[in-house]
Structure 1
Amino acid sequence: MKIDVYTASGAKKGTIDLPAALFEAPINEGLMHQALVLQRSNRRTAIAHVKNRGEVRGSTRKLFQQKGTGRARRGPVRSPLLRGGGKSFGPRKNANFTKNMPQGMRHAALRSCLSLQAKNGRILGLEGYPEERKTKKAAEFLKKLPVAYGRKIVFVLPGTHLPLALSIRNIPNVKSIQAAYLNPEDVLSAHHLIFLVDALKRAEEVFGTKGNKQKAESRKQSVADSVPPAAGEKPKKIKKTSTPKAKK
């Protein structure tokens, strides 16, 4: 899949191939929804808090005797059955909304999100943005691009690109994010994603399937090296590497 690449002047420079591992992955809507709920739940904080019968203000005296009145049995005025009493199962400030998901599933969900946006033609490329920090010029540049100015636009940077990040931070509905911190919410909510050319390589290194396989193999190797040898087996010899001596 190819996308158009634009320069800082807004002119089309050419096209570039998107990494197939990221932008041609199968679209799994259920996994995308699960990752989105995970992200929003982990950002959620418990605010609502009610008092139970032990915390609400009031006397602990029994309102009237248990038998002989002909009325329903009643305890203290703080009972949840009475008006002004405590709440039985209300929201508490110590509620924990955090969720967890394996890294492989999270990366697969992000690949599905990127593939969906690429399929809808919402991804552009950018090359050679100047080091000048000017919000006015950044706004003029966005108006020249084939994007819906005023809708949410996300710039994906390979790393810390202060000139571009500072130039667009005061433009409404425009934000920047590093490629290593891509997430389903920002990808799906964006009307257009503008990738710097180097950011495509960085995103493939972090979220591509090849990078995940290499990480898994290195973890397996480290675990295998840490396991002690069984009884009767000779321990493997570790080759010593000579370090060059520093010149005086």
Structure 2
Amino acid sequence: MVNCVVKNWQGEEVGAATLELRVAKEENAAHIVHKALTRQLNNRRQGTVGTKTRAEVRGGGRKPWRQKGTGRARAGSIRSPLWRGGGVIFGPKPRDYETKMNRKERRLALRTAFQSRAEDMIVVEEFAENLPRPKTKELVNALGRWGVEPNDKVLLILPERQENVYLSARNVEALNIVYANNLNVYDVLVADRIVTTAAALAKIEEVYGE
């Protein structure tokens, strides 16, 4: 179990929250989290890049010059990989990078990764009512009061879509918004700071707790 301090809109400590998730054993934790991260990054790859071999490049059917007597090196095709405009040797071809991982393993890896970031987590009260209209400056100022440094990459976890919060945050370059039921290992690990509301934390325990 991890105990977290809850802050209000002004950055004052007003309560406490707990996080209790079933995580991997210490000796297996790094392996399973790495496996889940590798899977996510692999599955992002499109695998659509492709090059042509000398058999696929247009042209090159005629021998450019006779075999002997010219003083030049022998050549059989202008589409040789040695020629400009020729084929590519051992170039990439379209392929599927999809990596499979059991659902229970994926969820265990996500819980382990999330709880391992407890020291970098900031829990705040619901603040949507403090943004009656979209205002990026007010949200950035609030992040500063909560302890976020200007250059930190921030992952903001919300229990559900809150329109004014979303519109206030979408133009902040280093701020990424996700919803509690849609977490992923990469976003959790790459962030310098994780800001979550108490309601989102409770929803994470409800959705991912087993």
Given the two structures, how large is their TM-score scaled by the length of structure 2?
A: 0.83
The answer (yes or no) to whether the contact 1:148–1:191 under 8 Å persists in 2 is no
CA distance in 2, matches of 1:176, 1:73: 62
Please give the secondary structure, in 2, of the residue aligned with 1:109: helix
CA distance in 2, matches of 1:82, 1:100: 41
* One-letter amino acid matched to 2:148: V
Structure 2 residue aligned with 1:122: 120
Please give the secondary structure, in 1, of the residue aligned with 2:156: strand
Structure 1 residue aligned with 2:12: 11
Structure 1 residue aligned with 2:98: 98
Identity %: 35
Please give the secondary structure, in 2, of the residue aligned with 1:15: strand
* One-letter amino acid matched to 2:98: T
The answer (yes or no) to whether the contact 1:156–1:193 under 8 Å persists in 2 is yes
CA distance in 2, matches of 1:160, 1:130: 10
* One-letter amino acid matched to 1:123: M
Please give the secondary structure, in 2, of the residue aligned with 1:9: coil
Task: Point out the more displaced range, 72-81 or 2-11.
Answer: 72-81
**Paired residues, what number?**
203
Bigger relative CO (Cα 8 Å, ≥ 6 apart): 2
CA distance in 2, matches of 1:139, 1:200: 21
The answer (yes or no) to whether the contact 2:19–2:205 under 8 Å persists in 1 is no
The answer (yes or no) to whether the contact 2:126–2:199 under 8 Å persists in 1 is no
CA distance in 2, matches of 1:196, 1:33: 27
Please give the secondary structure, in 2, of the residue aligned with 1:111: helix
Give the CA deviation at 1:150: 2.2
Give the CA deviation at 1:183: 0.7
Give the CA deviation at 1:147: 2.5
Structure 1 residue aligned with 2:192: 191
Please give the secondary structure, in 2, of the residue aligned with 1:41: helix
* One-letter amino acid matched to 1:37: T
1:202 aligns with 2:200: no
CA distance in 2, matches of 1:52, 1:201: 56
CA distance in 1, matches of 2:68, 2:186: 61
Larger radius of gyration: 1
Structure 2 residue aligned with 1:110: 110
Which structure 2 residue ranges, 5 or more long, are not aligned? none
The answer (yes or no) to whether the contact 1:19–1:200 under 8 Å persists in 2 is no
Give the CA deviation at 1:85: 2.6
The answer (yes or no) to whether the contact 2:36–2:185 under 8 Å persists in 1 is yes
Question: Structure 1 residues 98, 25: CA separation in 2 closer, same or farther (over 3 Å shift)?
Answer: closer
Given the two structures, how large is their TM-score scaled by the length of structure 1?
A: 0.72
Give the CA deviation at 1:73: 7.8
The answer (yes or no) to whether the contact 1:124–1:195 under 8 Å persists in 2 is yes
Residues 166-245 of structure 1 aligned to structure 2 (within 5 Å): 166-208=167-209, 210=210
* One-letter amino acid matched to 1:154: L
Structure 1 residue aligned with 2:152: 151
Structure 2 residue aligned with 1:51: 52
The answer (yes or no) to whether the contact 2:48–2:95 under 8 Å persists in 1 is no
